[in-house]
Amino acid sequence: MKTRTLGNGGLEVSAIGLGCMGLSFAYGPATDRQQAIALLRGAVERGVTFFDTAEVYGPFTNEDLLGEAFAGLRSNVTIATKFGFDLEPGTGLQRGLNSRPRHIRQVAEASLRRLRTDVIDLFYQHRVDPNVPIEDVAGTVKDLIAEGKVKHFGLSEASEQTIRRAHAEQPVAALQSEYSLWWREPEETVLPTLEELGIGFVPFSPLGRGFLTGAIDELTTFDSTDFRASVPRFSPEARKANQVLVDVLGEIAAQRHATRAQIAIAWLLAQKPWIVPIPGTTKLHRLDENLGAAALQLSSEDLRDITAAAAAITVQGARYPEHLQQLVDR
């Protein structure tokens, strides 16, 4: 597996990481624990070094899962986790946002215990808290770095202005936000800002929460615990309208003897050398498929055709329910 560097602080990771959320959270029932551990260890065997988790995934159980899976393998992996939500002790019920300095420290200590490690490689603010100045957040993580409990600071779904303010207080190694062929808003102001400041970019949902793979259509039904069941972009009407993008990807994939997923990930990799997508999966054969994108070289003509085809399509449906949309781009 080739590697890439996130930010100017020298955070080197595999060119494709693994988003671990879906093993415990958001996309239906949690994966069997032993199956999930086998997947995580299988990813390491395949050269993946970058793993993404958060206290809220589960909640709490995803970090614990990684802690067990990577026992004895800690030196081979880079673990990113997140703070920023106010979770009720015990139940994990979300009570809103909380990036107050004292809470950040509490989350860091709890994450260290669950991950069974003495340092967090990349500590993201999961969502920007409008009630806490970003300078206070960055300053707290700066202190944690000085204490050796955290190596690098990251942000998620932050606006250009927030990125600049945070970076002035403590260098930001990476921004994690949604980016794919069906959500390209980061290209407007965020990507230029990251390039200017020397910050890496970690796109989550690079496969459009599974839609770009072609495995989901207007007739697909979602489990009641699947987050997508409440997302406007995944309504039957929106899926039917958005199928045209999947069809275009299929045509290009057939020409390249690849899959839609591989084309979508390879397109992201080709945008900037400091982009590291983190597709998630619960199946080893899908992991192998996704990782195959790292070896797929798209020509300038391929990239032009893909970009032009995607630009000609107006994707239908908001990417979050209304009550969650307010948490992004702050």
Catalytic residue annotation: 57
184: left (phi over 0), alpha (psi -120 to 50) or beta: alpha
Q: What residues pair up with 97 in beta bridges, in sequence order? A: 85
Distance of CA 88 to the CA centre of its chain: 24
Q: What are phi and psi of 249, to 5 degrees?
A: -60, -40
What angle do helix axes 134-146 and 160-169 make, rounded to 10 degrees? 40
Q: Rounded to whole angstroms, what are the CA distances from 141 to 62, 151, 175?
A: 22, 9, 15
Q: What residues pair up with 11 in beta bridges, in sequence order? A: 6
- CB 137 within 8 Å of CB 104: yes
- CB 25 within 8 Å of CB 62: yes
Q: How far apart are CA 36 and CA 24, in angstroms?
A: 9
For residue 66 the two structure tokens come to 């990684």
Q: What are phi and psi of 276, to 5 degrees?
A: -130, 100
